Amino acid sequence: MFFCLTEHISELQTLLQRYQLEINTIAEQQKIPGSWFGEPEADIIQNRLYVRSDTPVHSALHESCHYICLDQARRDQLHTDAAGGYDEENGVCYLQILLADYQPFMNQTQMMADMDDWGYTFRLGSAQRWFKEDAEDARLWLQNHGLIDKIGKPTWRLRK
């Protein structure tokens, strides 16, 4: 079972405010607008992240990282499908793992386990092996776009 937001929405909001993202909480059993994978998965429309208390943290961070990794023109038009390429998707996955450590209720190990349980696919068979052994291209993509620094820490900026 995935780690869900439950009572941690305000803590996630504190993190996401650094990226000008706002969380819109949907009532239990209500449909999440535009959810790409269906309930309880998160959705993002422009700078608004839609979640319920049963939304998995990995889903909320993944959609948020799409917003962070988009250029401004695509952010302005964002509705449900970020439509990024292969390198951008890898950057999104890498950044969501990094940001997990900035939540008091989550960490990278739990994030990678949840990603594996959900069914994210990686070349080496697991999120942890990919992150530790095969994600140099994702890390460089994030650095080249100013989203992480040279030591792999978030810069708290959006892609230009």
User: What's residue 123's pLDDT?
Assistant: 80
Residue 104 in contact with residue 13, Cβ under 8 Å?
no
- Is residue 37 scored above 80 in pLDDT? no
**DSSP state at residue 133:** I
> What's the pLDDT at 159?
97
Q: Which helix (H) or strand (E) holds 56?
A: none
Q: Which of 77, 97, 123 is the last residue of a domain?
A: 77
Mean pLDDT for the stretch of residues 62-75: 95
What are 110's two structure tokens?
């739990």
- φ and ψ at residue 142, rounded to 5 degrees: -65, -40
The domain in which residue 28 lies consists of: 9-77
The domain boundary, picked from 29, 55, 77, lies at: 77
Together in a domain, 48 and 96: no
| Tally of domains in the chain | 2
Same domain, 69 and 94: no
Q: Where are the beta strands (DSSP E) in the chain?
A: 22-25, 43-45, 48-51
Any domain includes 48: yes
Per-residue pLDDT tens over the stretch 99-128: 999 999 999 999 999 999 998 888 889 999
Q: Do both 13 and 45 map to the same domain? A: yes
How far apart, in whole angstroms, are the C-alpha atoms of residue 96 and residue 57?
A: 10
**Which residue among 37, 60, 77 closes a domain?**
77
Q: What is the pTM of this model?
A: 0.94
118 is a domain residue:
yes
* Cβ pair 56, 40 in contact under 8 A: yes
